[in-house]
Structure formats: structure tokens, C-alpha cells
Chains A and B, each alone.
Chain A
């Protein structure tokens, strides 16, 4: 599965901020860590703010803080702010031939993959991802 850039940046941003909900971080600080453009990240943070996952703090040393629940926010919750997951059909190939028996058979298989993708993304919370990241860091 490929994630759109905005979804990937959003996941990095909420992960970084939720690692310590007390800590304020600017878009530049988050961008530095993941080597990503501050401009793009700012737009993503704005969307996350509207969704109530982060809050911007004004003034000197301002930035963003996490204000969601890391144990209950899943990857799907974040990704769906930016793209549709498992919409079936579409893609570059469009829905050509969907009305045929072959098209319907293909749809059945694609739907199976979509369902698995959604179930996986909907069961992994930010806390779980923190745990996985800590494990990966230890292995390195």
C-alpha cells in the first residue's frame, strides 16, 4: 500500500507530538527530524488542527501540541483526513469493465484486500506505533 505524502507527514507529525503531549514543537522542528518541507507540513498541521488532533500555541516558543488520545487514535483516523482508504475500483485503471463477470470477480478480490487494509490501519493506534518504533530503535 502506498500512502499519499500528506498522510505520511501527518502520521509523523502526530507521532512526534504525541510522544510527549506536554511538549510544543514547531513545524520546522518536526520537519527537521523527518527531513521534510516545513511548508507542506504546515498545511498538514492545519488539517490536523481542524480535526482536533493538534492545537497551535501562539507566542514566543509557540508551535503545536498534541491534544488527541494516542491510545484511541488509529492510523486510519489520521489517514482518512487526507485520502480515502480502500475505495475500491478507481485508480489509474478506472472502473473499466466493472459490469462484466470478469470485472465483478476482480472487484471481489480487490475488496478483500481493501477490507484487510482498513482493518489493519484501524487497529493500530499511535501508542501501538510508538511501541513499534521503540522496538525498531532498539534493534538498530
Chain B
């Protein structure tokens, strides 16, 4: 059983440690990575990303969450196109560049990698005072490869970005979902998101 996945099923360190203790066939290192990840995303080590300096084991049944790199952008574009049916090549290249070069402490672009392949991504940033709202962490996009779903990859990506928002002192998470996207709605609901105080309005300008 891949420990990284188990660690995110229930977001508590206790469960994570308990599983580590009862999971045979894993090295101590493999058992500890999700524990470090958990501590890191909850600022227990002051966000030093200490576990990242360790070499990650590459097995089929495992995934890691890490900041997106230039080489991931093509995979993210392909994954997004596969899911939404729309190619956003230029937009995503531009987004990655902006996130990397401007305000990297407030902008987050993470990928989930399994066996050297990008199997999911999340994009979000801290926005303040737009629409009169206090600073909050926005998730603009989250997607997981259809072949890798229901294995807690999405939850791990969301946990990661929430940890980053918390580290930056933000206490509220916000997103916008198409009301027809039942899957995404259920996912966010299962993470405790509720309707917020704002209502999105729009008008056809043609």
C-alpha cells in the first residue's frame, strides 16, 4: 500500500503515523516522507521543506507533491486539455512564468508526480481586497489525471496549497466552481467548503 496516499486519506498526523507503524514492506524512509510532508504543510518545521532535500523513491504506486518546474508545463497543458477539452497552451505558459518570477511567496503552482509523470496539478494565489474581500487563498484550478483519481491525489494537492496559504498567514480558502461540475463540487464540499458571502454575476455583452 503506498504510504503517501494513505497519509492523505485522513489529514491527521496520528493516522499517518499509525499507518507507518502498521505498514509492512516499506523502508523507514518511505514511511517518514508523508510524515515530514504533513509537518511541513502544517508549518511544524517553519516551512523549511526539510523533507524535500531527501531523495524521493520512484515507484509506480507512489506520488509526490512538489512545486511545478518548467519541464512540467507541457504535461500540465496536456492534462488540462484532456480534462477540459480546451488547449490553454499560451495561458498556462504565461501563468507559470508569472508565478515563478513575481510574488512567488503568494502564488503557488504544484504538481503531483507519480513514476516520473505529472498526474495532477493545482494553481492558486493569495489575493487581497478584490471585490472588497480581505486577503484569502484562491484555488484557480485543480485537476487529477482520470486514471489516477480517487487515490487522494486531489486531496494531497489541496492540502499542499492550503498549507502554503496558512504559512503565508491566510486563514480563508476560496474557489469558484461551475455549478454543473458535480465532481469538483463534491470534492470541495468533502473538504468542508461552503457557499461564501459573494455571488458571481455575469451578463452577455454581445
Contacts and interface: CB of A to CB of B under 8 A. Distances in A.
B189 A125 contact: yes
Contacts of A123: 182, 185-186, 188-189
Interface residues of A, number: 15
B71 to A, nearest CB: 35
Contacts of A71: 190
Contacts of A128: 186, 189-190, 192
Contacts of B195: 120
B102 interface: no
Contacts of A119: 179-180, 182, 185
Nearest to B179: A119
Nearest to A125: B186
Contacts of A131: 190, 192
Interface string A96-140: 000000000000000000011001101111011001100100000
B189 A124 contact: yes
A122 B189 CA distance: 10
Interface string B187-201: 011101001000000
A54 B169 CA distance: 45
Given A115-B179, A116-B179, A122 B185 contact: yes
Contacts of B189: 123-125, 128
A135 B188 CA distance: 16
Contacts of A127: 190
Nearest to A115: B179
A115 B190 CA distance: 20
Contacts of A125: 186, 189-190
A30 to B, nearest CB: 25
A71 B191 CA distance: 12
A72 B176 CA distance: 22
Contacts of B192: 128, 131-132, 135
A125 B192 CA distance: 11
A115 B179 CA distance: 8
Contacts of A74: 186
A123 B182 CA distance: 6
Nearest to A119: B179
Nearest to B195: A120
A131 B195 CA distance: 16
A122 B195 CA distance: 14
B182 A122 contact: yes
A124 B189 CA distance: 6
Contacts of A124: 189
B125 to A, nearest CB: 24
A135 B192 CA distance: 10
A125 to B, nearest CB: 6
Interface in B152-191: 179-180, 182, 185-186, 188-190
A54 B138 CA distance: 39
10 contacts: A116-B179, A120-B195, A123-B182, A123-B186, A123-B189, A127-B190, A128-B189, A128-B190, A131-B190, A131-B192
Given A123-B186, A125-B186, A128-B192, 8 more contacts: A71-B190, A116-B179, A122-B182, A122-B185, A123-B189, A125-B189, A125-B190, A131-B192
